[in-house]
Amino acid sequence: KLKDLSPSVLLENLQNSLEKSHFHTVTSSTNVFRQEKHLLRNPQSFQQRYGSCAIVSSAGALLDSDLGNFIDGHDYVVRFNNAPTMGFEVDVGNKTSLRILNSQILSKPQFNFFNSSLYRNVSLLVWDPSKYNATLEQWACSPDFPFVDAFFSRRRHLQDEDLHLMDPRGLWDLWDYLSLHSPLPIPPNPPSSGFIGLALTLSFCDYVDMIEFVPSLRMTKRCHYYDTHEDVGCTLGDWHPLAAEKLLVLSLNPADDHAIFVNGYVRIPGFPSQLQ
């Protein structure tokens, strides 16, 4: 169980679990989306190696953090969904390499997926949850949100764009790892975009700084740094197994409490490349 495992063993277990899993994007060699599968590319961008990576959670605690320069100093910066940088540069920076989007962003008109500048000139990775143990075909017939048309329409119109789709079975492989390494039972829902981002970047970054994922002393009731809505569930979890994710991230981190709770980030070493 979690309390007996060192950070390096937890990390090695994660690497081993993901290597044998479906934790990758849906490629044209799979048999789903028959008409459009030629539009699914192999993501070249995830094959490169980066020194430092930052994962910027969308937490309200980023406000007044002054972490913008620190974040932009990383070689690769991951952000989520519709989290803006404009107007928040001092606290969150403005460099974006990858945006991880849940399927609501493509399905709900309010997010303006086709026209918003948030989703331009960056790599994009979309995920949508399947049922546990569903096949790719079952999922493709009834995704959680109706994102498929928007996804392929954008692929068709912007063929050079680095836009990819997660294999939903891989989300459950990551959930299995989390469940196995958690001291308590976890909710039967896939991991949050934040934890997906961590699992992804660990394979191509020398180290990953997760910013305000484990809440610092700046923690507030505010859900996001970019709106005033208050909901502690955003920080502690209400649908995603967020508390378990955060506990695990804390356990993966060999750094001191000052960096975590005062500075507001957790540094996790990437998977050793010789094992890749």
- Binding residues for ligand NCC, rule: CB under 6 A, are 57-60, 80-82, 102, 104, 192-194, 213, 223-224, 234-235, 239-240
Q: Least CB distance from residue 42 to ligand NCC, whole Å? A: 24
Q: Least CB distance from residue 202 to ligand NCC, whole Å? A: 15
Q: Least CB distance from residue 96 to ligand NCC, whole Å? A: 14
Q: Least CB distance from residue 190 to ligand NCC, whole Å? A: 9
In whole angstroms, give the CA distance from residue 224 to residue 252: 25
Type of residue found at 163 = L
In whole angstroms, give the CA distance from residue 65 to residue 83: 16
C-alpha distance from residue 164 to each of 35, 46, 111, 208 (Å): 17, 11, 18, 21
Q: Which is nearer to ligand NCC, 36 or 144 (CB)?
A: 144
Q: Which is nearer to ligand NCC, 21 or 193 (CB)?
A: 193
Type of residue found at 204 = F
Run of H or E residues at 249: helix 242-252
C-alpha distance from residue 195 to each of 89, 90, 245 (Å): 23, 24, 7
In whole angstroms, give the CA distance from residue 15 to residue 148: 30
C-alpha distance from residue 81 to each of 26, 96, 98 (Å): 20, 12, 10
Q: Which is nearer to ligand NCC, 39 or 63 (CB)?
A: 63
C-alpha distance from residue 107 to each of 47, 101, 104, 133, 255 (Å): 29, 11, 5, 24, 39
Q: Which is nearer to ligand NCC, 223 or 244 (CB)?
A: 223
Q: Which is nearer to ligand NCC, 39 or 219 (CB)?
A: 219
* DSSP per residue, 77-91: EEEETT---TT-HHH
What are 215's two structure tokens?
């809440």
Q: Which is nearer to ligand NCC, 11 or 234 (CB)?
A: 234
Q: What's the start-to-end Cα distance of the chain, in Å?
A: 25
Give the residue closest to ligand NCC by C-beta: 194
Q: Which is nearer to ligand NCC, 2 or 63 (CB)?
A: 63
In whole angstroms, give the CA distance from residue 124 to residue 67: 23
Contact of 163 with 151, CB cutoff 8 Å: yes
Q: Which is nearer to ligand NCC, 30 or 179 (CB)?
A: 179
In whole angstroms, give the CA distance from residue 169 to residue 134: 8
Q: Least CB distance from residue 34 to ligand NCC, whole Å? A: 28
